[in-house]
């Protein structure tokens, strides 16, 4: 507002100069420049006095003395103009009233009153010294104009109070809106869900930091949905108002994205007819946790079953085994001896199965020892090379297992789990030309172990039931090996993920917490 007030103060002096010039141009009589020189000088001084602060208002607004002094000077200059001009006082009455009004807006109600009083004094002196003092209507005009000064001063003070109140309300409202806007921006910037706005061609208009993180992008300028989800935009997969899951390649690894589209209609940031809002979430970890929860529930149920019936099964087997042993001491035919051996062998197999079952059901204690994961895997690798499952096979082993990466664990239990996984990998590539197995250990925020083969792989149905007890694809398997392995890894706080495709191979990724 200060700038507008200052502009009006300049304008009133320019108006005086223009009116004086107009009078000169339209005057047909004698015009004495020497007599009007003082008038033009005073008007020019008034205009220049306000032009200079107009361009430095931030500085002059802090000088309270200058603000008051400038209005005093205005009253003095207007009074001089009125006295020097000899013109009718109506124009100068307007200038007085304008000064009082602007003074009230600038200095408040008190300022309006003393400027009104000062204007009354200045007007009275100029008017008393003018030729119109002999006029019959002098007293009437004198009193009426002075009353007008005080009336405008009171009105200006009242308006100034209203303007101040509304300015404070407007400022408070603006502050509230600014706070809400900043809060909204902060929420959008920090929300874990990626949010993007798109035009009707799929081009990205805006994206929050979470969207850049989920999509592994450094920028979105000039990009469209088709750049990171080829063939998805406006396809059958894209469903407006419905969340869909899409496979997405991120940093060389396949992840699962949850994608949601919502049509926004006309856009405030685009001239196009409509825009879309797109949200993206990385569901990979969520699905992994869901799988882990389901697996834990299955393992808990099987563990309760094992604890309840394992001993009851083992006792009858011991009686049957003892009875067969006694029978075998009597003379038997060759056929009976063969049948006896089969019975004893199957009893031993059942006993081994029950032992594995009990081991599976036994609760694992939290690990406390510090174990070097790389060194442990190297030991397991050497044992596998000497095992009968691997000897005689042509397998290229790619071992990248540096030492020094520490985790907390039980060495014996981890060896049991890793040996089982390595032997399974060797069996998966058995007899395949170009058979390879990759073993890799690395660390960042955690310690990771990857086991990958190019063997037979698994179908999606088999992959879903991979760690279920008694589920096996091997003719003589018990279906407890990977279930026990998963339980051991889970007890060590490890996260297990598996990727597999029939005919292409399998990859296990195990992530342990760092010490």
pLDDT in tens, 63-77: 666 677 777 878 787
Q: Is 150 exposed, middle or buried (0-12, 13-18, 19+ CB in 10 A)?
A: middle
C-alpha angle 122-127-128 in degrees, rounded to nearest 5: 100
The confidence band for 377, taking pLDDT boundaries of 50, 70 and 90, is: very high
Q: In degrees, to the nearest 5, what angle opens at C-alpha 216 toward C-alphas 213 and 219?
A: 85
Predicted confidence (pLDDT) at residue 161 exceeds the cutoff of 70: yes
Looking at the whole model, is its pTM more than 0.85? no
Average pLDDT, the chain: 77
pLDDT band at 269 (very low <50, low <70, confident <90, very high): very low
User: Does the structure show a pLDDT above 50 at 270?
Assistant: no
Say if residues 426 and 395 touch (Cβ distance below 8 Å): yes
Q: Is the pLDDT of residue 271 over 80?
A: no
The domains found in the chain, sorted by start residue, are 2-170 (no CATH), 194-282 (3.30.450.20), 289-361 (1.10.287), 370-513 (3.30.565.10)
* DSSP per-residue codes, 226-255: HHHSTTTTTSTT--BTS-EEEEEEETTEEE
State the distance between the two ends of the chain, measured CA to CA, in whole angstroms.
65
2 or 214: whose pLDDT is higher?
214
Query: Given pLDDT bands bounded at 50, 70 and 90, which one contains residue 131?
Result: low
Tell me what pLDDT residue 307 has.
63
Range picked from 32-41, 168-177, 303-312, 488-497 for highest mean pLDDT: 488-497
Which range, 29-33, 110-114, 188-192, 439-443, is most confident? 439-443
Q: Which residue has the higher pLDDT, 137 or 30?
A: 137
Measured CA to CA, the distance from residue 187 to residue 427 in angstroms comes to 52
Maximum C-alpha span of the chain: 164
In this structure, the strands spanning 396-400 and 436-443 are parallel
What pLDDT is recorded for position 513?
92
User: What string of DSSP letters covers 255-282?
Assistant: EEEEEEEEEEES-SS-SSS-EEEEEEEE
pLDDT for 306 equals 66
């Amino acid at each position: 507002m200060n700038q507008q007030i200052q502009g009006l103060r300049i304008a009133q002096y320019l108006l005086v100069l223009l009116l004086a010039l107009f009078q000169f141009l339209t005057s047909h009589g004698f015009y004495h420049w020497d007599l009007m020189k003082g008038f033009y000088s005073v008007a020019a001084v008034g205009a220049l006095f306000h032009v200079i602060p107009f361009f430095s208002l931030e500085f002059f607004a802090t000088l309270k003395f200058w603000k008051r002094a400038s209005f005093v000077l205005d009253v003095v200059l207007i009074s001089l103009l009125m006295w020097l001009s000899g013109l009718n006082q109506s124009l100068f009455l307007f200038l007085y009233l304008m000064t009082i009004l602007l003074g009230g807006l600038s200095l408040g109600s008190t300022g309006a009153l003393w400027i009104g009083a000062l204007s009354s004094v200045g007007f009275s002196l100029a008017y008393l010294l003018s030729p119109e003092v002999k006029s019959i209507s002098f007293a009437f005009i004198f009193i009426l104009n002075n009353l007008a000064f005080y009336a405008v001063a009171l009105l200006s003070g009242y308006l100034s109070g209203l303007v101040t109140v509304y300015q404070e309300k407007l400022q408070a409202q603006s502050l509230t809106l600014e706070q809400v806007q900043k809060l909204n921006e902060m929420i959008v910037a920090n929300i874990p869900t990626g949010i993007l706005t798109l035009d009707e061609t799929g081009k990205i208009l805006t994206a929050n930091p979470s969207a850049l993180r989920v999509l592994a992008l450094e920028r979105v300028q000039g990009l469209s949905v088709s750049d990171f989800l080829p063939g998805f935009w406006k396809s059958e997969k894209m469903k407006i108002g419905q969340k869909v899951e899409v496979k997405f390649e991120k940093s060389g690894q396949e992840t699962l994205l949850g994608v949601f589209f919502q049509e926004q209609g006309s856009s405030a940031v685009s001239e196009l007819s409509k825009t879309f809002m797109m949200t993206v979430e990385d569901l990979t970890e969520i699905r992994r946790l869901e799988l882990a929860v389901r697996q834990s529930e299955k393992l808990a149920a099987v563990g309760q079953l094992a604890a309840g019936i394992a001993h009851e099964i083992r006792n009858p087997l011991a009686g049957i085994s003892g009875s067969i042993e006694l029978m075998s001491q009597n003379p038997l035919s060759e056929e009976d001896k063969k049948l006896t051996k089969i019975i004893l062998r199957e009893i031993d197999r059942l006993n081994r199965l029950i032992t594995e079952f009990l081991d599976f059901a036994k609760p694992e204690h939290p690990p406390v020892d510090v174990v070097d994961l790389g060194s442990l895997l190297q030991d397991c690798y050497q044992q596998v090379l000497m095992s009968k499952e691997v000897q005689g096979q042509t397998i290229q082993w790619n071992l990248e297992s540096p030492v020094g990466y520490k985790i907390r664990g039980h060495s014996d239990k981890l060896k049991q789990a890793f040996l089982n996984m390595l032997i399974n990998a060797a069996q998966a590539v058995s007899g395949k030309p170009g058979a390879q197995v990759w073993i890799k250990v690395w660390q960042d925020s955690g310690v990771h172990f990857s086991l990958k083969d190019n063997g037979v792989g698994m179908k999606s149905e088999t992959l879903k039931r991979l760690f279920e007890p008694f589920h096996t694809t091997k003719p003589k398997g018990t279906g407890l090996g990977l279930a026990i392995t998963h339980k051991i890894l889970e007890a060590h706080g490890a996260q297990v993920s598996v990727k597999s495709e029939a005919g292409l191979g399998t990859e296990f990724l195990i992530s342990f917490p760092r010490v």
